[in-house]
């Protein structure tokens, strides 16, 4: 159980909570929706739950606009709000669980789009000094499920708001995975941003569990990105292996496929296991400890390494890992 829990709704409340944590000498954990964390043990310290709300348009030239959302806004609600307002850009990222403030942490992405594609800036409060600093795109060092906030600036900032550059006429990205076939019944010239979001929601609902109903850590592992020569060797043995060539010559593989091929899809250990529709999702049916989930994850990593020679890396944030 956390020793202290404070909900914060604006910048001043964030600063007050951080000062309190400092004065009491407490470890601080910033909590959004909690959908991307695995607790290895009870967290002893101060949990600061980001609960700020608000969406505001800053600049609008009639086509392109800059819209800023407070960190505590639920991501999917924010995405749907932008689409209902006629603003394009976030439709492929519909139904990703969590809050706006966590979205830059790992540069959330889905169906061929990442937030870096529409990111404008964010503001974050320094945990030590309380200073509020604006980070622009180049400052964030976004990569695949990475940002400066998971690397050298890890644990130093509370993201309080994020601004996006959206476009009423932005180009639709419909070529990724099942999205193309889901949209095939609509004439290409008539597809709207909302149609894309609806298709994404339909696909995600068909294969991903709702974290509010079935406890889970979605995308437990990152999709591995490997050298092209390593991929060529793998392809000889597994000609059907799904692969996504990257601009820099590397090749991204589907971690879910590797886990499935290693025989883990639907694997059950009673209280927990691997989701039966998406092998990238580890589920907790109730009562499994973080350490039990981690043991399962470790067994999967070893098995994939043995079968394919590929090292999987967890995407989920590990809390209290010894
Ligand atoms: C079923 C399922 C499907 C998913 N699908 C995808 C997907 O398609 N693509 C994808 O990219 N991710 C996906 N995820 C992962 C998850 O949705 C994202 O990582 C999301 O951004 C997490 O948001 P959260 O608010 O729940 O973050 P939390 O779990 O609360 O926090 C995650 C990390 O960010 C830190 N943090 C949170 N808020 C702040 C803040 N305001 N300031 C500073 N640090 C903060 C926390 O301390 C923690 O380290 C999925 C997860 C699940 C369960």
| Position with higher pLDDT, 178 vs 132 | 132
Ligand 1, residues 98, 275, 282: which to mutate, most atoms within 8 A of Cβ? 98
Q: Which atom of ligand 1 is nearest to the CA of 71?
A: 41
Is the pTM higher than 0.85? The answer reads yes
The set of residues, in sequence order, having a beta carbon less than 8 Å from that of 319 and lying 6+ positions away, is 29, 37, 38, 39, 40, 43, 290
Instruction: Identify the CA nearest to 37 among candidates 8, 2, 68.
Output: 2
Q: Is 315 an active-site residue?
A: yes
Q: What is the CATH number of the domain that holds 27?
A: 3.30.43.10
Please report the pLDDT score of residue 188 as a whole number. Answer: 81
Sole residue written with tokens 């590929």: 310
Our count of domains for the chain comes to 3
Residues 279 and 181 in one domain: no
Residues in the chain: 322
Strands (E), the chain: 4-8, 28-31, 37-39, 46-50, 55-60, 64-70, 109-110, 113-114, 119-126, 132-136, 157-167, 215-217, 225-226, 243-245, 251-253, 272-274, 282-284, 317-319
Shared domain check, 163 and 108: yes
Separation between Cα atoms, residue 231 and residue 170, nearest integer Å: 34
**Contacts (Cβ under 8 Å, ≥6 apart) of 269:** 288, 292, 296
Is the Cβ–Cβ distance between 101 and 159 less than 8 Å?
yes
17: domain range? Answer: 4-50
Of the listed ranges 201-205, 214-218, 293-297, the least confidently predicted one is 214-218
What is the mean predicted confidence (pLDDT) over 6-16? 98
> Which DSSP symbol is given to 102?
G
Pair 149, 29 in one domain: no
Question: pLDDT tier at 73 (50, 70, 90 boundaries)?
Answer: very high
Closest CA to 12 of 52, 57, 69, 67: 52
Token pair in block for residue 71: 């960190």
If asked whether residues 44 and 64 sit together in one domain, one would say no
From the candidates 15, 145, 161, 204, give the one annotated as an active-site residue: 145
102-160: pLDDT as tens digits: 999 999 999 999 999 999 999 999 999 999 999 999 999 999 999 999 999 999 999 99
- Ligand 1, atom nearest to 159 Cα: 42
Q: Poorest-confidence range of 2-6, 76-80, 303-307?
A: 2-6
State the CATH number of the domain containing residue 122.
3.30.465.10
Q: What is the pLDDT of residues 34-48, one digit of tens each?
A: 999 999 988 999 999
Q: Report the pLDDT value the prediction gives residue 2, as an integer from 0 to 100.
A: 55
Q: What is the CATH number of the domain that holds 261?
A: 3.90.78.10
Same domain, 134 and 108: yes
Cα gap 52→72, rounded to integer Å: 4
The strand pair at 132-136 and 119-126 is best described as antiparallel
Minimum mean pLDDT among 1-5, 145-149, 233-237: which range? 1-5
For a pLDDT cut of 90, what percent of the chain falls above it? 84
Q: Measure Cα distances from 263 to 120, 309, 316 in Å.
A: 42, 16, 22
Mean pLDDT of 14-35: 95
Going from the Cα of 185 to the center of ligand 1, the distance in angstroms, rounded, reads 33
Each residue's pLDDT tens digit, 236-286? 999 999 998 998 999 999 999 999 999 999 999 999 999 998 899 999 988
**321 secondary structure, DSSP code:** -
């Amino acid at each position: 159980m956390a020793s202290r829990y404070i909900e914060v709704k604006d910048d001043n409340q964030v600063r007050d909570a951080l000062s309190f944590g400092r004065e009491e000498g407490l470890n601080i954990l910033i909590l959004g929706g909690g959908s991307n964390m695995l607790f290895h043990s009870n967290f002893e310290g101060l949990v600061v739950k980001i609960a700020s709300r608000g969406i505001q348009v800053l600049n609008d030239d009639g086509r392109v606009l800059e819209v800023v959302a407070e960190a505590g806004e639920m991501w999917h609600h924010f995405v749907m709000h932008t689409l209902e307002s006629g603003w394009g850009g976030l439709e492929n990222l519909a139904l990703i669980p969590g809050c706006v403030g966590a979205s830059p942490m790992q540069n959330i992405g889905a169906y061929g789009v990442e937030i870096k594609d529409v990111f404008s800036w964010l503001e974050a409060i320094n945990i030590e000094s309380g200073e509020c600093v604006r980070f622009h795109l180049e400052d964030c060092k976004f990569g695949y499920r990475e940002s400066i906030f998971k690397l050298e600036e890890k644990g130093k900032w509370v993201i309080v708001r994020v601004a996006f550059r959206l476009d009423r006429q932005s180009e639709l990205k419909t070529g990724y995975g099942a999205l193309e076939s889901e949209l095939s019944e609509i004439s290409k010239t008539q597809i709207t941003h909302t149609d894309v979001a609806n298709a994404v929601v339909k696909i995600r609902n068909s294969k991903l569990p709702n974290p509010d109903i079935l406890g889970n850590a979605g995308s437990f592992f990152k999709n591995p990105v490997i050298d092209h020569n390593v991929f060529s060797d793998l392809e000889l043995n597994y000609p059907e292996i799904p692969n996504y060539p990257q601009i820099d010559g590397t090749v991204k593989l589907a971690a879910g496929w590797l886990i499935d091929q290693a025989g883990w899809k639907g694997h059950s250990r009673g209280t927990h296991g691997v989701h039966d529709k998406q092998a990238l999702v580890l589920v907790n049916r109730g009562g499994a400890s973080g350490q039990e989930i981690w043991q399962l994850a470790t067994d999967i990593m070893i098995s994939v390494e043995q079968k394919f020679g590929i090292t999987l890396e967890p995407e989920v944030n590990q809390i209290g890992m010894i």
